[in-house]
Amino acid sequence: MPDNDDLQFLVTNDLVEIVTSCMTLSPLQASRMTRSDEDGNGGWDAWGGWSECSRTCGGGASYSLRRCLNGESCDGRNIRYQTCSNTDCPAESGDFRAQQCSAHNDLKYQGHTYEWVPVTDDPHAPCALRCQARGTALVVELAPKVLDGTRCTASSLDMCLSGVCQEVGCDRQLWSDAKEDGCGVCGGDGSTCRLVSGQASLHITADERRCMRDPPVPSSLLATV
């Protein structure tokens, strides 16, 4: 590795920090409700209480129901959602979609049991529980809908609600248009950092330099006499 490399840095609060792609979001105190909150009374009964959150961490959803007092002639929805449990999950808790697939490991499929792993980022059915039998090409839709709060894709905060992918902003609120700016700040205006080009000296010890120049030979490649 050379002593000097051209690098780009973000300067924040007068300190130079190498930017990584990992950003921790702060938990939110409140959650945005669905657009059905804007509906007037219109013959509806009062909204019921909120259900238990679908997840204990990582961003889930809870719902509230109301009853139409005019039979089926009410305008608007009888259900509304809000996000909840927006704190990040511990690393050891695993992926929420993977947990739903593995719940079928002890159930026979066509006479056999399999270890199921999730099929992610399916553009045609992001909210169906499609799983693959580990070590095989077998892919099966084990449920038409994943649990509420499951991410639509691995790289997005958008979540599935009643089998439909719904947009979630970087503030982890439903139907929010909040985006990260170039500094990685949710809802920011790009004013908290600036891009700097320069040179960085990498301090490498003599032993590290020798190891890089003469890497050890794997034992599998050593000839025996």
In the predicted structure, residue 107 carries a pLDDT above the cut 70: yes
How does residue 224 score in pLDDT terms, banded at 50, 70 and 90? very low
* pLDDT at site 14: 34
Q: Quote the pTM value.
A: 0.65
Better-predicted residue by pLDDT, 27 or 93: 93
* pLDDT at site 71: 77
Beta strands, E only, 67-213 = 79-84, 116-118, 129-133, 139-143, 159-161, 164-166, 194-201
In the predicted structure, residue 213 carries a pLDDT above the cut 90: no
How does residue 211 score in pLDDT terms, banded at 50, 70 and 90? low
Beta strands, E only, the chain = 4-12, 15-17, 60-65, 79-84, 116-118, 129-133, 139-143, 159-161, 164-166, 194-201
Measure the CA–CA gap between 200 and 7, rounded to whole angstroms: 7
In the predicted structure, residue 102 carries a pLDDT above the cut 50: yes
Choose from 46-50, 69-73, 180-184 the range with maximum mean pLDDT.
46-50
What's the average model confidence in pLDDT over 136-165?
95
Least confident range of 5-14, 97-106, 139-148, 190-199: 5-14
* pLDDT at site 205: 73
* pLDDT at site 169: 93
* Cβ-based neighbours of 104, under 8 Å, separated by 6 or more: 114, 116, 131, 142
In the predicted structure, residue 4 carries a pLDDT above the cut 50: no
* pLDDT at site 96: 95
* pLDDT at site 218: 56
User: What would the pLDDT profile of 50-87 be if each residue is shown by its tens digit?
Assistant: 999 999 999 999 999 999 998 778 988 999 999 999 99
* pLDDT at site 42: 76
| Contacts of 113-122 spanning 24+ positions with Cβ under 8 A | 114/138, 116/140, 116/142, 120/153, 120/154, 121/153, 121/154, 121/155
Mean pLDDT of the residues in the chain: 79
